[in-house]
Chain A
């Protein structure tokens, strides 16, 4: 049975007893489809205005990057209360470090995401150390849709995807599993059937190449 047929017969039509997720995973590998990114819109210099003392820019910062920070927090932290607390901490850090934003090095959206990710990675590390079964909440909030992306953000996302596409497949996969899915090196090694050291090398070299390409340095000094 082909992998695609496996998906059709196992997952969609009539799953037989004994079917496993491995079959579904394998089927999905053939049917992977590129997703259209949906990013929030980006202003030009909200953080610089905050650093300059513009009070109105603080509210604009919340409205402009709130969806991005909140979505990141929800992805990193399953507990909504933790995600709310983290969102407040992240915005506090943004207001504190707004003066560090340099438009020559990254877009505001990327800078905001960097500040958010650092805090969330730290929180997730602490929570993972004492992982327990997920509590089922008594109620959940039905989320509201995020704002649609602007042309500028779409263009930036295109640039990042192009830089990703230039990486080796193993590097792409390791970075996606680490950055997007939040897996540890050990989990990625298990998924990709690679030694942990190789996974770490793929991530380091892949991020290094991305760093150079996004900084306009092309492939200079890059080795595999």
Chain B
């Protein structure tokens, strides 16, 4: 960044910038360690902090921590005062079993499993007033739920290319929740080993490039399918949704053509 940098320092900055954005290979990480050992460059976190500041400022957190994950984190939290940094990992994560303990576990695994099963059965039978967990809602139920939320939009598909004229269905999207579903019927079957459908979300307020909405396959044209949208980036106010056929796994930049489009009026 300054013209006065010597070659090793410039290489250090190259590696620090890479670490802050795309990460380093093991070889690059070792090279960085070696170079830093011989360098006067003191603030090795500065590039990472700059990238993090940009991330926090320009990419808003979109989701609150799920309650189940919060409970899991609390269970994993240190029980008492945090130890010295290098020892804390062992207190938070389960320590590996010693060999003798492991042999004991293998030998008694069958008895232990049986005893645990009996215990679970007894506890499950005995605990009064505990209802079984409700089944997870289906995609159709989740879609209906989303349709009932404020700010949810619903737009119909329109086939553009030959063979896609009879595609029916719609897109449901909620910019606040960053969740949505595609409902599709009549989409021609694709061969996943050769091509996959890829959803694109056009949202000029978010990005000048269409946002990757994930790839999926169509197995049967006669049945209606509901596909959850997994946008790679936030899309607060999409103007259109489009499907293309791309190489397996999807592409970063598509040349089209747009097969089916759902436009927000």
Contacts and interface: CB of A to CB of B under 8 A. Distances in A.
A179 B21 contact: yes
Interface in A1-37: 7, 11-13, 15-22, 24-25, 27-29, 31-33, 35, 37
A22 B255 contact: yes
B222 interface: no
B14 interface: yes
A146 B202 contact: no
B38 interface: no
Interface residues of A, number: 118
B228 A142 contact: no
A59 interface: yes
CB-based closest 8 A-B pairs? A66-B65, A208-B1, A53-B81, A20-B256, A160-B57, A38-B60, A71-B61, A11-B240
Nearest to A209: B1
A72 B88 CA distance: 24
A51 B254 CA distance: 48
B242 interface: yes
Interface of A: 7, 11-13, 15-22, 24-25, 27-29, 31-33, 35, 37-40, 50-51, 53, 55, 58-59, 62-63, 66-72, 74-75, 78, 84, 87-88, 91-92, 95-100, 105-106, 109-111, 113-114, 116-118, 121-122, 124-125, 131-134, 136-147, 153, 156-157, 160-161, 164, 175-176, 178-185, 187, 190-191, 200, 203-205, 207-212, 214-215, 221-223
Nearest to A186: B252
Contact of B52 (A15, A51, A114): A114
Given A25-B209, A208-B13, A161 B63 contact: no
Contacts of B158: 15
Contacts of A121: 19, 21-23
Contacts of A175: 21, 51, 54
Contacts of B146: 142
B171 interface: no
Given A72-B55, A92-B93, A181-B233, A141 B66 contact: yes
B40 interface: no
Interface string B228-265: 10101100100110101000111011111110010111
A172 to B, nearest CB: 10
B228 to A, nearest CB: 5
A61 to B, nearest CB: 9
Contact of B54 (A7, A50, A179): A179
B61 A38 contact: yes
B108 interface: no
